[in-house]
């Protein structure tokens, strides 16, 4: 019998002040690499940190979160884009 319990492997925080949130979580020790910060027109919208166990911790702007929500509502069979595919 397989273990079918849900596994928490991702946390997304949507923040109105991306720069301050990024600085705050870095102070707490979250390793958000600078080269991993997704920016469009100089404005940061998304960053992802992965711990040793493979769990994801993401910061998202409200704009990015809304676009991601629209992608997730697409019918099955549509390929899910990556953060780099965002057209803001």
pLDDT digits (tens, 9 = 90+) for 24-39: 999 999 999 999 899 9
pTM recorded for the entire structure: 0.72
Given a cut of 60, whether residue 62 has pLDDT beyond it is: yes
- The span from the CA of 8 to the CA of 40, in Å, is 29
Give the pLDDT of residue 40. Answer: 87
Given a cut of 80, whether residue 72 has pLDDT beyond it is: no
Question: Pick from 66, 11, 74, 19: which is nearest to 42 by CA?
Answer: 19
Given a cut of 90, whether residue 16 has pLDDT beyond it is: yes
Question: Pick from 43, 35, 50: which is nearest to 18 by CA?
Answer: 43
Q: Across all residues in the chain, what is the average pLDDT?
A: 84
């Amino acid at each position: 019998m397989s273990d079918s319990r849900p596994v928490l492997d991702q946390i997304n925080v949507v923040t109105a002040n991306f720069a301050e949130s990024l600085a705050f979580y870095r102070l707490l020790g979250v390793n958000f690499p600078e080269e991993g910060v997704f920016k469009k027109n100089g404005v940061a919208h998304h960053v992802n940190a992965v711990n040793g166990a493979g769990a994801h911790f993401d910061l998202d702007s409200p704009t990015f979160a809304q676009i991601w929500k629209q992608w997730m509502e697409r019918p099955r069979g549509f390929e899910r884009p990556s953060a780099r595919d965002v057209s803001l």
